[in-house]
Structure 1
C-alpha cells in the first residue's frame, strides 16, 4: 500500500544529481563524437539484430503502458492515463518500425520504416507535455476510450500502409524527404519531452518516488532518441544509438516498477508516485480513513469487550486488501498496525489524564473539588472503567458517593484489595479485573484509587501506568492539603499576592535581607489606655480584633503586608516582599481607607479610640530576622523610624505622610495640609510632613 516509493534522504545530496545528469549527457556526447569522427561511426547492417532489439523495446514499452493505464483506471487519474499513452504510442510505432525491417517482411526500407519512430515519439512528447501539469484536465480521462481507440486506429493504419507499401508510405524516401519530415518532428517533440521532464523533476523534489524518477529519465532518453534519429546515419552506430536509447528508457521504467513490485509485493500502487496531486491527496485520505476505520473497530472491541467485533476488523481488512490490492502479509501488517495504533491512542488518553491531574496540582482548589475533577478526568481517560476514590477519615477508609463513577458499594473482594493496598502501600489485585492503588500523603496512607474493567486483568504495562497515576494523584492531594494549610497560615498575615510570591519563591523567606525602597505604615490607637480603664478585658480584646480586622482588610486590599501587631499598634509594609512600583500611593490609600473603616466602627461611641497613622517612604533593610525555629519578616532603617515618629505627631483619625511619600504620589492629586519642618525624636535633621486629607478625589 504505497502512495509514493520514497528514496533515502541521501538523494537530496549534490553527488547523485550530478552523477545522474552525467549519465543523461553521455548519449549526446557519444552522438557528437560519432558525428565529429566519421571513422568511428562504422556501419553495422544486421537486420535480425535490429528486429530483435526493436521488437523487445516495443514489447517492454507496451507492457509498461498497459500497467500505467491499468493504474490510471484504478485510481481515476488523468496524468497516469496520459503517461500510459506516452509508452503505448511510442511502442506502437516502434513495433511497426521493427516489422518493416528490410529483409524480414519487406525487401527494402520505406517511409514507414524511416519516419514511423519519429512520428510515434513526437506524438508521445505531446502526451507527455499534456501530463505535465500538477492537475491535468479530467477531460482526457472522461474521453479515455475514444482517445485510445483513435490512437490504436492511427497505429494500425500506419502499420498496414507500411507493410502493404501503400502510398505515401511506398518506395524508398530520398534524403531530402527524410530531412524535411524528421527535423520538424524533432523540433516539435524534443521541447515537449523537455517540458514534461522539467515538471517531473519539480514533482520529484516534492516526493522522492523511484518510479517518478524513472519516468523523468525515460522522457529525457526519448527526447535524445528523437534528436539522434535525423542526425544518425542509416545502419551506422549513430543510427543504432537511438534504438539503444529507447530500449534504455523503456527498460529503466520497467526495472523500477519491478523493484517497486518486489518491495511492495503487489502491483496496485506501482505508479502512484507518478499520479497527480489530486490522486496523491485522495489516496492519503483514503488510506487514513481506512486505518481510522480499523482503529475505530479496535477501540469498540476493547471498550465493549465484544469478540464479535473481531469479525468486523477482518471484514474491513479484507475490503482494504481488495480495494488497494494488498497482499495477505500487508493486510496482516495493517491490522497489527491498527491494533497498535489503537493501543497507543488509549495510552495517550491515559497519559493525558495524568497530565491533567498534574496540572491541577498547581491550582489552589478545595480538596473536594480537586478530587471530583480528578475523578472526572480519570473516568474520561480510562474509558469503560469503573473508578472510585476512597479517603482515610478518622482512621477508617470511606468511599464518598461523589468520588465514585458507580452507585454501588465496593464488593467484598474490592474492599479487601483496598485494605491490602493501604496496609502494604502497594497495588493490590482484587481478583475480579480490578486494581487498588494506595494514595500516600507525607509517607502515610491517605486513601485508595480503585479501577475495575470487565475484560480481564490489568497487565504489567497497565499496572505501571496505574501506579504512576496514583502517585500523581497522591502528589495532587498532598499539595491541596498543603495549600489549605498555607491559606490558614500565610493568608491571615499577609496579602494573597505576598503569600503566592512566597509559595512560588521560598527563598524570599530565608534569613537575611536586602536594601529596598519601601513605604512603611504605622498605626496606633489614641485614647486606648483611657478606654481600657472603663471596660472589661474581654471587651478590650473584642475591640482590638474588630479594629485590627478592619485595618488589616484595607492594607491587604492594597497589596500591603502586615508585619506585626504590638499592643494597640500595627505596622505594615508596601513594596516588600512583592515589588510594587506605586507603593507610596498604595500605602496612602490604605491609610485613608483604614481611618474611614474605624470611623464607621466607632460612629456610635464618641469616646472610642481612634487610629493615628504615619506613613513614610525610603530605603530600608528588608528581610527575615530571627532563627531557624522562629523568624519574623521586618524592615529596619531611618525611613521606617520616621514613619513611626510621624504616627506620634498625628491627631486621632488623621494620616500624616512624610515628604518622600508625598513626592512618590507623582501626578495623583492629593489634598494635604503642610505641617512644615518637624523636629522628631531621635532625628538631628528636621523632617517635612503633611496631613493627608484625600487622594485622587477621595475625601478623608
Structure 2
C-alpha cells in the first residue's frame, strides 16, 4: 500500500478479516435481494405510490446536491483535482436524479417521458465516469490539467443536463419514442459502462492510503459499490415493483454513507482523506504576508478590554477580509494581533507575488482610514516574502490544520518585524518577481532572528497598475 503523505497523520490500522467479511456481506445483501426478486417474480410486489417516489428521489437529490456543493467549495479552497472530479460526480448524479423526479406522473407531466425515465441511468453512468477519473493518480501535471479544465467541465456538465431536460420535454429525436423496457439495449449499455467505471473507482479507492482521522476513502468505495448495484437494479427492476424501488433506496444509501463519513471526519479539513499528495503535502511557489499591530501590548495595557476587542474587530473584520477576497489570498491563521495570509497562483489571476504586494499596500491604505478616526490605535507593520514552501496538513485526528511551512514563511514573519510602522517590507524573492512594476526603497541586508545569513529587504512604496 502507498505510504501516507507526509503531515497527513497516522495511517489507520488494516481492517481485520472479520470486519472485511462483514463489509462484503452487507454490501452483497442488495444484490442477493435483487437476485431473489428476479428468480421469484411473485415476491417482487407492486407498490405504486407517487408521493413516496417523488419525496424519496427529492431527498436523495437534495443530499447529493449538498455534497456536490460542499466538495466543490473545498476543491476551490484547496485547489485539489480529486475533489473537483468528486464534486462533478455528485453534481451529475444529483442533476439527472432531479430530472428523474420530474418524471413522477402529476409533478410536471401527466404521463411517462422517455428522457426523464432514462435520466437516472444516464446520470449514474456520467457520475461513474467522473468517479473513475477521480481515483486516478492526479499529482503533478495530471492534477494541474484537471484544475485548468474544471470551469469547462462544470459548464459542460450543467449544459448537458439542461439540454437533456429540454430535449426530453420537447420529445425530439430518439427521446420521442416510447420509454424503453427494462433489460433493453439502452439500459444494458449504460449499465455496462457504469459498472466498469465504478469497479475501477472502487478498486483504486480501496488502495488509497487510509488514515485514522479520515474514513473517507473506504466510505467512497462503499458508496460507489452501492451505486454500481443501483446500476444493475435499474436494468432488471420492474416499474413500481420492489426491484424498481430498490435502486432508489440504494442511491439514497450511497449518499448517506458519504454524509456520515464526512461528519465523522475532522471538521476543519473534512475532505482531507481524499486530497492528492500534492495537496496534502506538496511544495509550491507562494507569497506569504504577515501583518502585525506595532505596540499592541502597550495599547492593551492602557485600554479597557472592550476597546481592545473593538480595535481588533475593526481591523480583522472590516479591513483584512475584504482585501483578502479582492486579491485572492487565504487567511492561514490569526495569531493574537497578527494575521498570516497565503497567496498562490491560480488560473485567471495575477501572479501571487503581485497580488500579495497589492494586498499589502491596500491593507495599509485601508488601515490608515480606520486610524484617521482613531489616532491612538496601533498601526500595522507588513512583511511579504515569496518562494517555495511546503503546503499541506499538519496534525492528526485531534486537531488538523492546513498551512504552509518553510524558510519562505519564516523570512516573511521576520520581515514583518523589521518593516517600518505603517509600511511594507518585502524580501528579495518578492522584489525579483515584481520586476520593474514596483517602486522600492532598499532596506539593506537585515540580520533576522533565527537565521544565519542576512536577508535582503526592501520597503514597498508603490506598485504600477497592470
Give the TM-score taking structure 2 as reference length: 0.59
Q: 1:34 aligns with which of 28, 32, 37?
A: 37
Which residue of structure 1 aligns with residue 77 of structure 2?
Answer: 74
Are the equivalent residues in 2 in contact too, given 1:68–1:84 (CA < 8 A)?
yes
> Are residues 208 and 332 of structure 1, via their aligned partners in 2, closer, same or farther at CA, if it must alter by over 3 Å?
closer
Contact 1:200 1:212 in 2 (8 A): yes
1:23 and 1:203 map into 2 onto residues whose CA distance is 22
Return the alpha-carbon distance in structure 1 between the equivalents of residues 178 and 147 of structure 2: 40
| Cα separation, 1, equivalents of 2:6 and 2:112 | 46
| CA distance in 1: counterparts of 2:63 and 2:7, whole angstroms | 23
Counterpart in the other structure of 1:17: 20
Change (3 A) 1:33 1:17: same
How much does 1:9 deviate?
4.8
Q: Which has the higher contact order (CA 8 A, sep 6+)?
A: 2
1:318 touches 1:331 (CA, 8 Å); kept in 2?
no
Change (3 A) 1:130 1:10: closer
Greater C-alpha Rg: 1
Give the equivalent residue in structure 2 for 1:139. Answer: 145
Deviation beyond 6 Å, 4+ runs, structure 1 = 2-8, 283-286, 323-326, 330-334
2: distance between equivalents of 1:204 and 1:67? Answer: 22
Q: Is 1:65 paired with 2:68?
A: yes
Deviation at 1:110, TM superposition (A): 2.0
- Native 8 Å contact 1:189 1:223 kept in 2: yes
Q: CA deviation at 1:277?
A: 1.6
8 Å Cα contact 2:60/2:252 also seen in 1: yes
Are the counterparts in 2 of residues 134 and 277 from structure 1 also a CA contact under 8 Å? Answer: no
Match of 2:168 among 162, 165, 184: 162
- The Cα of 1:13 is off from its aligned counterpart by 2.2
Give the counterpart of 1:314 among 336, 345, 365. Answer: 336
Q: Which residue of 1 aligns with 2:106?
A: 103
Unaligned runs of 5+ in 2: 301-311, 313-333, 343-390, 403-449, 451-466
Deviation at 1:54, TM superposition (A): 0.6
Q: Structure 2 residue aligned with 1:198, among 199, 203, 222?
A: 203
Deviations 1:506-543 (CA, angstroms, capped at 9, x unpaired): xxxxxxxxxxxxxxxxxxxxxxxxxxxxxxxxxxxxxx
Q: From 57, 72, 94, give the equivalent of 2:97.
A: 94
Task: Note if 1:188 corresponds to 2:193.
Answer: yes
> SS of the counterpart of 2:208?
helix
**Which residue matches 2:122?**
119
Within the candidate set 232, 248, 253, 2:258 is matched to: 253
Give CA deviations for 1:431-469 in whole Å, capped at 9, x if unaligned. Answer: xxxxxxxxxxxxxxxxxxxxxxxxxxxxxxxxxxxxxxx
Distance 1:170 1:332 in 2: 54
Secondary structure of residue in 1 paired with 2:175: coil
Shift in Å, 1:270? 1.3
Query: How far did residue 256 of structure 1 move?
Result: 1.9
Q: Does 1:274 align with 2:265?
A: no
- Give the structure 2 partner of residue 149 of structure 1: 155
Indicate conservation of the 8 Å contact 1:3/1:284, yes or no.
no
Q: CA deviation at 1:7?
A: 9.0
How far apart, in 1, do the equivalents of 2:250 and 2:195 lie?
14
Report the alpha carbon displacement of residue 108 of structure 1 after superposing the two structures with TM. 1.8
Q: Distance in 1 between matches of 2:35 and 2:85?
A: 32
Q: Is the 8 A contact 1:7 1:210 kept in 2?
A: no
Deviation at 1:114, TM superposition (A): 2.4
Following superposition, the deviation at residue 331 of structure 1 comes to: 10
Q: Does 1:45 align with 2:48?
A: yes
**Structure 2: distance between partners of 1:6 and 1:40:** 49
Contact kept? 1:108, 1:172, Cα under 8 Å: no
Which range is displaced more, 70-79 or 167-176? 167-176
CA shift for structure 1 position 193? 0.7
Q: Tell me the SS of whatever aligns to 2:63.
A: helix
Q: Deviations along 1:230-285, whole A, 9 cap, x unmatched?
A: 1111111011111111101111112222233xx53x4xx21121121211113999
Query: Aligned in 2, Cα 1:215/1:197: closer, same or farther, shift over 3 Å?
Result: same
- The structural deviation recorded for 1:106 is 1.4
Residues in 2 aligned to 1:205 and 1:212: alpha-carbon distance in whole angstroms = 7
After superposition, the Cα gap between the structure-2 partners of 1:217 and 1:174, relative to the gap in structure 1 and judged at 3 Å, is: closer
Q: 1:596-647, CA deviations, whole angstroms, 9 ceiling, x for partnerless residues?
A: xxxxxxxxxxxxxxxxxxxxxxxxxxxxxxxxxxxxxxxxxxxxxxxxxxxx
Q: Is the 8 A contact 2:280 2:393 kept in 1?
A: no
Q: Is the 8 A contact 1:54 1:95 kept in 2?
A: yes
How far residue 55 of structure 1 moved from its aligned partner, in angstroms, is 1.1
**Unpaired stretches in structure 1, ≥5 consecutive residues:** 298-305, 335-382, 384-700
Closer/same/farther in 2, CA of residues 61 and 283 from structure 1, 3 Å limit = farther
Contact 1:42 1:237 in 2 (8 A): yes
Deviation for aligned residue 1:324: 9.9
Q: 2:104 and 2:88 mapped to 1: Cα distance? A: 24
Q: Is the 8 A contact 1:121 1:226 kept in 2?
A: yes
Q: CA RMSD in A?
A: 4.1
* CA displacement 1:674-699 (0-9 Å, x = unmatched): xxxxxxxxxxxxxxxxxxxxxxxxxx
CA–CA distance in structure 2, aligned partners of residues 124 and 208 of structure 1: 27
| Counterpart check, 1:244 vs 2:249 | yes
- 1:5–1:209 CA contact under 8 A, matched in 2: no
Q: How does 1:506-517 map to 2 (within 5 A)?
A: none
Using the alignment, how far apart are the partners of 1:237 and 1:193 within structure 2? 24
Residue of structure 1 equivalent to 2:368? none
